[in-house]
């Protein structure tokens, strides 16, 4: 249970962290690749623009990262040719194989921003340039006295970690359009 909770906390920080008393998230550290024309929709052309906004040197190892609701939106996109109903999304063919978009794997995170007004909805890039540093081992403290009156025992866990995108040009994002004033 501790590991699962710690993993969720770290994922949230590595995705959205502000860099102030927490890691700098990959969404915050990324470079603008393209801006969507709508506040709540993404087109196939915008995904193509994001793909090609990333330098060729980074595309061969690039990964898409987005929220599940964004995946749902993108899975419905077709090639756009009226006689062809082929979807852009390519489901993994084997168990454990990732879904693909433009031949690159897709990672889904519940902590990625939604595809809505003014948010960075999708990142695409070489995530090997996101560096994570763990300092010291994880430690746990047993808290007997604090919960003794209720016949309980508490536990507290400590871990120091940090993360930052070392090369911002290796990861680009799609920014949703701003709403009208």
Confidence of residue 181 (pLDDT cuts 50, 70, 90): very low
What is residue 7's predicted lDDT score, i.e. its pLDDT?
Answer: 87
* Beta-bridge mates of residue 134: 161
Task: Please report, in angstroms and rounded to a whole number, the separation of the first and last CA atoms in the chain.
Answer: 46
Buried b (16+ CB within 10 A) or exposed e, 64-73: bbbbeebbeb
pLDDT digit string (tens) for 57-113? 999 999 999 999 999 999 988 876 667 777 788 787 777 788 899 999 999 999 999
Per the prediction, the chain carries an average pLDDT of 90
For 109, the token pair is 């995170």
Query: Is residue 47 over pLDDT 90?
Result: yes
């Amino acid at each position: 249970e501790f590991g699962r909770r710690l993993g969720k906390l770290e994922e949230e920080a590595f995705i959205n962290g502000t860099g102030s008393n927490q890691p700098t998230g990959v969404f915050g550290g990324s470079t603008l690749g393209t801006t969507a024309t709508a506040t709540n929709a993404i087109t196939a052309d915008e995904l193509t623009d994001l793909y090609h906004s990333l330098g060729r040197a980074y595309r061969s190892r690039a990964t898409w990262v987005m929220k599940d609701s964004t995946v749902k939106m993108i899975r419905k996109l077709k090639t756009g040719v009226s006689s062809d109903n082929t979807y852009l999304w390519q489901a993994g063919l084997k168990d454990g194989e990732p879904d693909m978009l433009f031949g690159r794997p897709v990672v889904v995170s519940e902590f990625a921003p939604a595809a809505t007004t003014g948010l960075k909805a999708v990142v695409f890039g070489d995530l090997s340039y996101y560096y994570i540093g763990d300092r010291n081992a994880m430690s746990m403290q047993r808290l007997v006295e604090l919960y003794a009156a209720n016949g309980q025992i508490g536990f507290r866990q400590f871990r120091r970690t940090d993360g930052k995108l070392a090369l911002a040009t290796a990861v680009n994002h799609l920014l949703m359009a701003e709403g009208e004033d």
